[in-house]
Amino acid sequence: MSGKLRVAMIGAGFMGAAHSQGWRVAPHFFDLPLEPQMQVIAGRTPGAVAKAARKWGWAESATDWREVVARDDIDLIDIVTPGDSHAEIALAALEAGKHVLCEKPLANSVEEAEAMAAAAVRAAAIGIRSMVGFTYRRVPAVTYARELIASGRIGTVRQVRAAYRQDWLRDENGPMTWRLEKERAGSGALGDIGAHAIDLAEFITGLRLDRVTGTLDTIVRERPLLGEGVGLSGTASHERGTVTVDDVAVFAGRFEPVDGYSPIGSFEATRFATGRKNALTIEVSGSRGAIAFDLERLNELELIDASGSELDQGFRRILVTEAQHPYLAPWWPAGHMLGYEHGFSHQVVDLVTAIAEGTDPHPSFAEGLHVQQVLAAVEESSDHEGRWTSVG
């Protein structure tokens, strides 16, 4: 490969803006082994995608993703479309010899994810790389938490508590969107944000969920449809559509055994947690201490060393902004905070580096498949009144 990595992005919504930020900024702060070129962005509406190209820094726009995938001047396809098209685009891109970055969750079903993971294995054999966009792994505090646990700082993991709470659906008259349609989104809070909680718990601890028990619920079952030509901030029509996904998911799980014990995890994913805007939290309790993270305070960790005196126990705050912390050396002086968007730059760094070195990036499509299997097991458990269900 030459010194350039020519990128095409399929999709131009919220995640399109976030991924564009990553591709645009990463080369200006990190010494990358390949130079990303933002070649083309594809979307369904000519005017809207052309505007996105100008705004986010893409050289050109297109409306046919198949033509984009077939182009000889594209090396990598970045997929940020709704879940119902992930499998089709990724399979076509891998078949065409393109590297692939695909937003989470990997697909809308285990069957689709299995096909994608198998295609990724075949492509890797000829040097084509693929990765799932579980971006929160690349928040420096999260990566540092993983390092602390792996080093034995809190001892043997005994229990995990993870939750992702938002409140953007709390208004029952909020309009229908594609995220509320099972055909397009695959699932609701479970797949959209619960997938992040699952991946974060497994990434930080190094453990894999083995079986789950849980329940899903749809709190508001009908919502107003948007009138023709009316945006999300406009006035909804009097007609109502049926919500076909979950609004809230609560489940427990057992991780694979460690020294004969299977640590237990508790998980929550909801878009009805009034007052919580983007509260992804995780707390890991071990035999010698515990560690906690809150995305709404993403430059911090809380750590407790339980081996000390009983008289001075309690969590202490770690500010994760030092140059020695993961990803932070190229950014700002210590104490100058990073934000949500920086994880997307770190995602670019890791993916581009893996492609240049000829190594498999993480999370892989196989890891994305595993998360999809956990989601399916939770849904199956809920369908059977909380019965314990094996993952995969």
Instruction: Give the per-residue SS3 of the chain.
Output: CCCEEEEEEECCCHHHHHHHHHHHHHHHHCCCCCEEEEEEEECCCHHHHHHHHHHHCCCEEECCHHHHHHCCCCCEEEECCCHHHHHHHHHHHHHCCCEEEEECCCCCCHHHHHHHHHHHHHHHCCCCCEEEECHHHHCHHHHHHHHHHHCCCCCCEEEEEEEEECCCCCCCCCCCCHHHCHHHHCCCHHHHHHHHHHHHHHHHHCCCEEEEEEEEECCCCEEEEECCCCCCCCCEEEEEEECCCCCEEEEEEEECCECCECCEEEEEEECCCCCCCCEEEEEEEECCEEEEEEHHHCCEEEEEECCCCHHHCCCEEEECCCCCCCCCCCCCCCCCCCCCCHHHHHHHHHHHHHHHHCCCCCCCHHHHHHHHHHHHHHHHHHHCCCCCEECC
Longest dimension (CA), the chain: 67
pLDDT at 2: 64
- Calculate the alpha carbon distances from 168 to 172, 244, 268 in Å: 10, 17, 16
d(CA 100, CA 130): 5
Does the residue 143 lie in any domain?
Answer: yes
d(CA 380, CA 141): 33
Residues 222 and 349 in one domain: yes
pTM of the model: 0.94
Indicate the pLDDT class of residue 236, thresholds 50, 70 and 90: low
Does the residue 389 lie in any domain?
Answer: no
Does the residue 253 lie in any domain?
Answer: yes
Residue where a domain terminates, one of 135, 164, 197? 135
Residues 169 and 70 in one domain: no
pLDDT at 313: 87
Instruction: Give φ, ψ of 210 to 5 degrees.
Output: -110, -35
Residues 176 and 89 in one domain: no
Residues 203 and 126 in one domain: no
Residues 106 and 252 in one domain: no
- On the question of pLDDT at 234 being above 60, the answer is no
Q: What is the mean pLDDT of the chain?
A: 95
Geometric angle at alpha carbon 332, from 328 and 333, rounded to 5°: 100
Query: How many independent structural domains does the chain possess?
Result: 2
Kindly report, residue by residue over 191-232, the tens digit of the pLDDT.
Answer: 999 999 999 999 999 999 999 999 999 999 999 998 644 444
Could you tell me the residue range of the domain that residue 225 belongs to? 137-359+371-383
Residues 345 and 264 in one domain: yes
Q: Which residues have a Cβ under 8 Å from the Cβ of 81 and sit 6 or more positions away?
A: 10, 11, 89, 103
Indicate the pLDDT class of residue 1, thresholds 50, 70 and 90: low
| Span 34-38, average pLDDT | 98
Q: Around 48, how many Cα atoms within 13 Å sit in the side-chain half-sphere? A: 12
Residues 161 and 305 in one domain: yes
Residues 316 and 346 in one domain: yes
- On the question of pLDDT at 339 being above 90, the answer is yes
Indicate the pLDDT class of residue 238, thresholds 50, 70 and 90: confident
Does the residue 226 lie in any domain?
Answer: yes
